[in-house]
Chain A
Amino acid sequence: MGTRECQHICGESSPAVGEAGKTGEWRDSFLVIDQQKCLPVRQNKPSCFLCWLYCPDAVISKTIPIQINMDYCKGCGICAQICPAHAITMVREEEFYLTETD
């Protein structure tokens, strides 16, 4: 199947979820959240949410607990770096899946 039906003649896209495809496929690291360390969970009220603020792909929700849209999470690890409670750990995809299936 070719791209003839796409009527663009130059690079063109619209700001929309998924416009660049499922960018989560680019990910090589998965993130594991320790909910007991996450500040909003511990305090049971909206607080911190630095991961939501810093996520460059806006895939983290401002909810308790936080939700991550893995369709578009590229696994950059900024959330793990910024979390003051060290609640997020980055795990290599292959290690994560090996652990899961063990």
Chain B
Amino acid sequence: MGKKETRKASTWILDGNHAAALGAKLSRVQVIAAYPITPQSPVTETLSEFVEGGELGAQYIAVESEHSALAVCTSASMVGARTFTATSAHGLAYMHEMLHWAAGARLPVVLACVNRAIGAPWNVLNDQQDSISQRDTGWIQIYARNNQEILDSIIQAYKIAESIYIPVMVCYDGYILSHTEMPVDVPAQEDVDRFLPAYKPNTILDPANPKNYNLVTLANPRVNAEGVLCHGYMELRYLLQEALQNSRERITTVGREFGELFGRSYASMFWEDRLEDADIVIVAMGSLAMEAIVAADMLREAGHKAGVLGLKVFRPFPKSDVVRALGKARLVVVFDKNISYGIEGATCSEIKSALYGSSARAVIRNFIVGLGGRDIKARELVDAVNKSLLSMKEGDLSKEYPEWICAI
């Protein structure tokens, strides 16, 4: 591995929340505003300790709600500060309006979402319904499989966000990662400083050069006082979509640069395990993608050519990469820890949409798993694949709705 000269990273035993807080600290965030919510609370506690103890020269702004937390971050970002916030579930739902605002205003805020189920009924355990419910807000969404990826992704998130002015949400599973300790390589501050340049804001409030930002913008373009034809609302929304469409290259380039410096490459939009010869592909996102590797091991032992596609970047959705990866598969089994009620799991819909019009002819099965913290074991993933193979043999090529791994 062509790793460039770096200071020695130290290996720490960290849970996901501390990995996230350290990622933000190493990124030298300048303004933090967050409101504690289970299972995210240790992120806010750790960061406030860093600030209070003088280890991190940031402003920690205590707020009365998540909506205010993100309002503080967008405002601080607009005047040129690198900002960080973290939340879960109902807190993210409460941020919904400001999520749209951050993306529309093209502010490179980074948010850690500790994935948790949404009520009713009340539940504090893991699934991915919270962040999936925010998929259409214009944010880049990255899902970590383990605590190392949480720390690494937050540092990369700033470099991605600040170069294309799109906010980034780094998502990781509540408890499974947030409260589980594992070894994490913590890079030296000097190396992170080499990787991550200072934030150059696109917008800045300067009394000497006053500007209005994101005031009422009418449907049609307008000629401004200087005679320039300025975007209307729709042109600005087009530019947001265009930026996300074009962000794939930036995300993979930053991931490659990270790998060159730190030895862990993030140059692809998803993680692959034995896809080269696989004709059965398990698709999963977040920590479930690690469980899927164990399931693929078990399927290989049973003589199946199984592989795993672990979704890492959910927005922008890597359509062309997915087509390439799934072109040879005869069965794709998608496990979703979320559901778009009335249709199916969100990642399954995206996979199907990506394959439309391609030459891929795989049978696609969708299983809803792990909602509200329901444990999902590798054995159960294997059983679901075997069940799908059996029904395929019986000629059942397409199911209208997903199957659920639950007691009903």
Q: Which residues of A contact B (CB under 8 A)?
A: 1-3, 5-6, 8-21
A14:B210 contact, CB within 8 angstroms: yes
Q: How many A-B residue pairs have CB under 8 A?
A: 73
Q: How far is the CA of A20 from the CA of B220 in the complex (A)?
A: 11
Residues of A within 8 A of B225 (CB): 14, 16-19
Q: Given A13-B211, A13-B224, are A8 and B105 also a contact pair (CB < 8 Å)? A: no
Q: How far is the CA of A15 from the CA of B205 in the complex (A)?
A: 13
A interface footprint on B189-214 (CB within 8 Å = 1, 0 otherwise): 00000000000001100000111111
A12:B211 contact, CB within 8 angstroms: yes
Q: How many chain B residues touch the partner (CB < 8 A)?
A: 29
Residues of A within 8 A of B236 (CB): 8-11
A14:B212 contact, CB within 8 angstroms: yes
Residues of B within 8 A of A3 (CB): 221, 229-232, 235
Closest beta carbon of chain A to B2's beta carbon, Å:
35
Q: What residue of chain A has the Cβ atom nearest to residue B104's Cβ?
A: A10
Residues of A within 8 A of B203 (CB): 10, 12
Q: How far is the CA of A18 from the CA of B211 in the complex (A)?
A: 14
The one of A6, A9, A14, A16 that contacts B106, using a Cβ cutoff of 8 Å: A9
B106:A10 contact, CB within 8 angstroms: yes
Task: Write 20 A-B pairs (CB below 8 A) sorted by A numbering.
Answer: A3-B231, A5-B228, A8-B230, A9-B236, A10-B213, A11-B213, A11-B215, A11-B217, A11-B236, A12-B212, A12-B213, A12-B214, A13-B230, A14-B209, A14-B211, A14-B225, A15-B212, A18-B224, A19-B224, A20-B224
Residues of B within 8 A of A11 (CB): 105, 212-215, 217, 236
Is B223 interfacial (CB 8 A cutoff)? yes
* B:363-395 near A, CB below 8 Å: none
Is B300 interfacial (CB 8 A cutoff)? no
Q: How far is the CA of A19 from the CA of B213 in the complex (A)?
A: 13
Among A16, A17, A20, max chain B CB count under 10 A is at A20
Q: Given A14-B225, A17-B225, are A6 and B212 also a contact pair (CB < 8 Å)? A: no
B210:A15 contact, CB within 8 angstroms: yes
Closest beta carbon of chain B to A15's beta carbon, Å:
6
